[in-house]
Amino acid sequence: MNHIDICSESIEKIKNIIAENQTFVITAHHNSDGDAVGSSTAVAEVLRQMGKTVKVILPNDFPSFFRWMIGANEIVTFDRHTKDAQAFLEKTDVLICLDFNQISRVDKLEPVLADWNKKCIVIDHHLGLQIQADAIVSVPEASSTCELVYRVLTLCGYESFITKDVAESIYTGIMTDTGRLDYSSSYAGVYEVVGKLIEKGVDKVSVHDKIYNVYTYNRLCLQATILKENMVYIPEYHAVYMTISLKNQKDYSFQLGDSEGFVNIPLSMKDVKFCAMFTEYENGIVKVSLRSKRDFPASDFAAQYYSGGGHFNAAGGKFQGSLQDAVKVFKEGLEVYKEKLQK
C-alpha cells in the first residue's frame, strides 16, 4: 500500500455540509490522545477561519502536554460541563466525529450521538466503523485521523486555511499515532503529508519538545517502578504484561498522560510479540492497552476479551473487576492464541 484513497463523493458531501451550515460541534474519543486533540483542534480552527461557529466537546479531560494547540484552551469537557455542552449541542447543525469507530468510545456522550438526528460527518482510521453519518471518510490503512484530516481539507480546497498552527496540530496526531513514524507508516503518502506540513511552517523541534520533553521526575520514577516491579515476561508466549495500580498512581502523583507510551516499551525486546498494560481505575474498571508486532491481531484479542477494538497492532478495551482478574483473562487468552504467538 502506497496510497490513501478518499472517495470524491465523500469529499463533495463534506463540502456541501460545510457550505450549507453554520454551527458545528467536533468530538473525539474518551481519553483523547494526540490524534484526537490534534484533529479536533485543526478542523475547528479551519472552520473558524471560514466564519463558522464551532465548539470542540470532548468526553473528558486530555493530557496537559496538548494544551498548547490552537484553541485547546476553549475545548469543553462533557463530563465536567455537561449543561453548557448540551445547550450548545441543541443549537448545533452539524456534528463532526473524529478518531473513533463506535459511539461507545465517547463514554458519557454516547446517548447524544445515539439520538443525533441532524447532520453528521465522520473521519476515522480504526477497523470496523459502526457509526452512521451523512459523510464518512473511514480509512483503516491511514497512519492517523490527522493524516486523513489533512487530505480531506486539501481535497475540499481549504488548503489556504492550513496555517502553521493548524499544521502543528495535524503533525502532532501523525507523530503520536505512529510513535514518531515507527509503526503504521510504511507508505510514501504519510511522508508526503509530513513534508507538506513542514512546508506550512511546523517547527518540528518545538513541537517535539512540547509533547515529549515535558515529563515530570515522578513520571520517570513511575516508569522505572512499573518496568522493574510490575512487568512480567512470559517467554513461552512471547508476551509481556504490566500493571499500574491505584497505589502506583498515588505514589507518583499520577497525572493524565503519564503512562503514555509505557505499553510499547516491552516490544523492544527481541522475542516479544505481544504486550498488555492494565491500568486500575477508581470505579472498579481496568483500562487495557494492547500492542503487537507483525501478524499478531491485538484488535481481535481486545474485542474477544476486553469488549474493545482499535487497530490490528494497537488496540484497547476495558475490564470490569480487579487487576488480578484482568491478568487472569489475559493469560487464558494467551493459551487460546498460543499458535499465533509461537509462530
Binding site for ligand 5GP (CB under 6 A): 29, 102, 105, 126, 289, 308-311, 314-318
34 binds, among Mn ion, ligand 5GP, none (CB under 5 to 8 A by kind): none
Using the contact rule CB under 5 A, the part of the chain among 59-67, 96-104, 159-167, 266-274 near Mn ion is: 96-104
Using the contact rule CB under 5 A, the part of the chain among 35-43, 179-187, 207-215, 329-337 near Mn ion is: 35-43
29 binds, among ligand 5GP, Mn ion, none (CB under 5 to 8 A by kind): ligand 5GP
Residue 27 Cβ vs ligand 5GP, minimum distance, rounded to whole Å: 14
| Cβ proximity of 14 and 151 under 8 Å | no
Q: Is 150 helix (H, G, I), strand (E, B) or coil?
A: helix
β-strands 231-234, 135-138 pairing: unpaired
Question: In whole angstroms, what is the distance from residue 235 CA to residue 33 CA?
Answer: 31
Across the beta sheet with 274-280, the strand order is 231-234, 239-244, 274-280, 285-292, 314-320, 309-310
Q: Is 290 helix (H, G, I), strand (E, B) or coil?
A: strand
35 binds, among ligand 5GP, Mn ion, none (CB under 5 to 8 A by kind): Mn ion
Name 234's bridge partners: 239
102 binds, among ligand 5GP, Mn ion, none (CB under 5 to 8 A by kind): ligand 5GP
**Cα-based torsion angle of the residue sequence 18, 106, 168, 48 in order, rounded to the nearest 10 degrees:** 30
- Does residue 99 interact with Mn ion by CB under 5 A? yes
Residue 298 Cβ vs ligand 5GP, minimum distance, rounded to whole Å: 8
| Grid cell for residue 125 | 482510521
DSSP 8-state secondary structure symbol assigned to residue 75: P
165 binds, among Mn ion, ligand 5GP, none (CB under 5 to 8 A by kind): none
Nearer to Mn ion, 140 or 245 (CB): 140
